[in-house]
Amino acid sequence: MNAEQADSKPSKNSRQVRRMNEGQDITRYYALTMLKNALSVVGTLGVACLGAQICLALQTPLPWMIGPLLATALASIVGAPTLSATPLRNAAQCTVGLALGLYFTPEVMRLVGSLWWAILLGVVWALALGWLFGCFLHHLHDPSQPRLDRATTFFAGAIGAASEMTLLAERAQGRTDLVASAHSLRLLMVTVLIPFAMQFSGLHGLDRSGFITPDVRWWGLAGLYALAAVCSYLLDRYDRANPWFMGSLLVAMVLTAWDVRLSTLPASWVNAAQLVIGVSLGVRFTRQFVMAAPRWLALVALGTLGLMALCAGFGIVMSWMTDLHPATMMLATAPGGIAEMSITAKVLQLGAPMVTALQVSRLMAVLVLLEPIYRRFIAAPKN
């Protein structure tokens, strides 16, 4: 018995040593992965800063967003290990939401409220345009692509956020990779082309009503961010769309509408937020992304140009109906993202409150109505 016990002790010790070694290997692996990711994030931000400086030197529109977007997209396509940090992206969305919410003074809220019918008309337009874009993709797509069904083209054509449209496509058993690529390419094209068109046509600096608080009050700024963080966290817990942007926008809108003006945001913070948002868009364009379905991406690019032309015409009609400037309504109805189009309106001074209100309303309507529309008019007839 004593000999057996003596023999069992080394085996127990060896198992303990093996577990310790395995634990150390796992710890070392995670530490190296974190270090690698951190270096990738820092390197990507460095490339983004370089892109911003080049655009500043060239005096392009939105240099702090377009420069990083194009620089990181190019770096990603050539194979550089670019990476966007989710906490930084959330902080950037929070900053942009607060900056835009500060525009909604009592006077602006009354103006936006009086144009409720224009916002409703913009929502109907967005739903109809997304339907037409989906039909365009469905009838002209490559038939050799596997599982490229109506669910894929319907949600790829919708004028909504990429993450939410991809999730809806997944529920409908569509191809999420093609849906995500369609929205990413559309967003990149709209974000780059529309600001250039606005600036080079002279349509900027037309609206200076957004200047609210001339100074930065650090205690008020801390309070704004604290309230925004709480509201955004709650929206995130309940899986709401764009929680860090929407939560911050809601906080700033409510406070400003009640004429509670805690602080403005430093311009450098808004520039940094634009840079991070540009990075988050640019890193999507990897070499695999570009080579995966070239005909699909070509169709999306062609359709996006058509969308922008149609939305420009609709924006001109809406400006005539509302007595607002055509540039404001073009941005308000443009097929881009909330943050990107609202930043464009803010930086170029083209009526950021109306642009933000219509873009937010459109997103919420698309998220609520799109899946029931698909089930009623697309999936039901097929079944």
The Cα 16–Cα 10 span in angstroms is 10
- Using DSSP's 3-state secondary structure scheme, residue 55 falls into helix
The proportion of the chain whose per-residue pLDDT surpasses 70, expressed as a percent, equals: 88
Q: Decide if 93 contacts 342 (C-beta within 8 A).
A: no
This prediction has a pTM of: 0.82
Domain boundaries, the chain: 85-382
pLDDT in tens, 315-341: 999 999 999 889 999 999 999 888 889
Q: How confident is the model at residue 381 (pLDDT cuts 50, 70, 90)?
A: low
| Percent of the chain clearing pLDDT 90 (strictly above) | 46
Q: 179, 133 in Cβ contact below 8 A?
A: no
In residues, how long is the chain?
383
The pLDDT score that the predictor gives to residue 5 is 52
Q: What is the mean pLDDT of residues 222-228?
A: 95
Burial 189-216 (b: 16+ CB within 10 A, else e): bbbbbbbeebbeeebbeebeebeeeeee
Contacts of 91 (CB under 8 A, 6+ apart): 244, 273, 276
pLDDT at residue 113 greater than cutoff 60: yes
Grade residue 348 by pLDDT with cuts at 50, 70 and 90: confident
Statement: residue 127 has pLDDT above 90:
yes
Contact 122, 362 (CB under 8 A): yes
Measured CA to CA, the distance from residue 296 to residue 182 in angstroms comes to 8
pLDDT of 211 reads 47
Spell out the alpha helix ranges (H) of 141-259: 150-157, 162-171, 176-200, 218-237, 243-257
Distance separating alpha carbons of residues 359 and 68, to the nearest angstrom: 23
CA 151/CA 8 separation, integer angstroms: 62
**If we measure between CA atoms, which residue out of 122, 118, 363 comes closest to residue 241?**
363
Q: Is the pLDDT of residue 213 over 70?
A: no
